[in-house]
């Protein structure tokens, strides 16, 4: 608990220092401000996740070390060990699911913002009956392009997340059962009579620790990959808002002109139509590049699994050497 308190105090200081970089008194936060906040939240979440796993790990390893020290071997020790590893797996999976839920919430917010912009433009059309049909059609087509772009982006993101979810599940399963197999091999030396106790005392707590840290490490991959994802999407979030606002302002000019009976509004109509078509073409060329996010996310999970497998192999070889030395 003392270690956990120290970790939380360290995190509190880090949060305080990090947030000092952002001026929350400004009327509008810039993209750099938002990126800084996202970076802070990502780091803070990772810190909390790691601290939670560490507290659970310390408790379970201390229990293991005590059993091996006093040679008190509960009848269901292997089952208890498997349950402890399962519990850690559930903790890291829960954090991974929280990330997924946050991602869905952010996606829904993105959709809602775009929908709000569409409704704002449609409200302008609804209050101005004198607007030419071409303008109405142009605004509708622009909004449809925005909707299509966002939906295509969400579909691409979902495809990446589907692959990542499968790889995450495979990584967790491989780490869990490979590590348990190693631990079980060590515990097998204690029954029906105790053999190679020194080797077992070295192997079992270490294998348990490496498994827990590796499980936690894999679960952080999604969190660590938020920066390229954020950078890939937020620019479009801001750009779409700007394009919608430009059209809204132009429609306001058209509406003002139509209320002045003496005015010839053809030039204002033409200007609005050109802007709408130009902005629609801009949106049609939008394409979110998820490749940096996909590459970092999947590579992270693969490399963390490979590192774990290498550690398991190394521990297994060292255990075999230890057994041969103390025969």
Q: Is the per-residue pLDDT at 292 higher than 70? A: yes
The H-assigned helical ranges of 20-132 are: 31-70, 77-127
Q: Is the per-residue pLDDT at 100 higher than 90? A: no
Helix (H) / strand (E) element for 213: namely helix 197-224
Q: Is the per-residue pLDDT at 249 higher than 60? A: yes
pLDDT tens-digit map of 267-287: 888 999 999 999 999 999 998
Q: Is the per-residue pLDDT at 173 higher than 70? A: yes
pLDDT tens-digit map of 294-312: 999 999 999 988 988 898 8
User: What's the CA gap between 264 and 11, in Å, rounded?
Assistant: 64
Peptide bond into 192 cis (omega under 30): yes
Question: How far lies 223's CA from each of 56, 155, 218, 228, 269, in Å?
Answer: 20, 20, 10, 11, 48
pLDDT tens-digit map of 48-59: 666 666 666 666
The single-letter DSSP state of residue 71 is T
From 307, 312, 314, 315, select the one nearest 203 (Cα to Cα). 315
pLDDT tens-digit map of 142-156: 999 998 988 888 888
- The residue ranking higher by pLDDT, 223 or 45, is 223
What's the chain's length in residues?
327
Q: What is the mean pLDDT of residues 258-274?
A: 82
The H-assigned helical ranges of 259-290 are: 266-284
User: What's the CA gap between 58 and 68, in Å, rounded?
Assistant: 15
pTM for the full predicted model? 0.75
pLDDT at site 295:
93
User: What's the CA gap between 263 and 3, in Å, rounded?
Assistant: 76
Q: What is the mean pLDDT of residues 216-233?
A: 82
Q: Is the per-residue pLDDT at 136 higher than 70? A: yes
Any residues with CB less than 8 A from the CB of 307 and at least 6 apart, and which? 214, 217
Question: How far lies 286's CA from each of 11, 89, 233, 238, in Å?
Answer: 39, 39, 11, 13
Contact 99, 223 (CB under 8 A): yes
Phi-psi region of 71 (alpha: psi -120 to 50; beta: other; left: phi over 0): left
Q: What is the mean pLDDT of residues 176-199?
A: 82
Contact 117, 236 (CB under 8 A): no
């Amino acid at each position: 608990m003392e270690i956990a308190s120290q970790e939380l105090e360290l995190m509190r200081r880090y949060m305080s220092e990090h947030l000092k970089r952002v001026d929350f008194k400004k009327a509008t936060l810039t993209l750099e401000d938002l990126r800084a906040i996202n970076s802070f939240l990502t780091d803070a979440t990772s810190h909390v996740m790691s601290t939670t796993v560490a507290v659970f790990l310390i408790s379970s390893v201390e229990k293991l070390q005590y059993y091996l020290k006093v040679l008190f071997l509960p009848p269901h020790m292997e089952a208890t060990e498997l349950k402890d590893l399962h519990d850690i797996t559930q903790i890291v999976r829960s954090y991974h699911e929280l990330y997924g839920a946050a991602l869905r919430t952010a996606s829904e917010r993105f959709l809602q913002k775009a929908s709000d912009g569409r409704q704002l433009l449609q409200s302008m059309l609804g209050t101005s009956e004198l607007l030419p049909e071409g303008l109405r059609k142009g605004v509708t087509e622009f909004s449809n392009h925005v909707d299509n772009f966002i939906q295509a982006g969400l579909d691409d993101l979902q495809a990446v997340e589907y692959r990542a979810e499968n790889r995450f599940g495979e990584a967790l399963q491989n780490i869990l059962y490979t590590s348990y197999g190693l631990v079980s091999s060590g515990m097998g030396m204690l029954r029906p009579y105790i053999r190679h106790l020194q080797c077992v005392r070295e192997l079992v707590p270490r294998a348990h620790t490496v498994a827990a840290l590796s499980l936690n490490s894999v679960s952080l991959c999604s969190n660590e990959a938020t920066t390229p994802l954020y950078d890939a999407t937020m620019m479009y979030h801001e750009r779409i808002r700007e394009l919608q606002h430009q059209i809204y302002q132009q429609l306001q000019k058209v509406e003002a002109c139509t209320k002045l009976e003496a005015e010839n509004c053809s030039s204002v109509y033409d200007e609005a139509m050109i802007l709408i078509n130009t902005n629609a073409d801009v949106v049609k060329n939008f394409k979110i590049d998820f490749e940096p996010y996909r590459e970092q996310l999947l590579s992270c999970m693969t490399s963390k699994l490979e590192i774990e497998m290498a550690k398991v192999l190394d521990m297994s070889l060292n255990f075999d050497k230890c057994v041969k030395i103390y025969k």
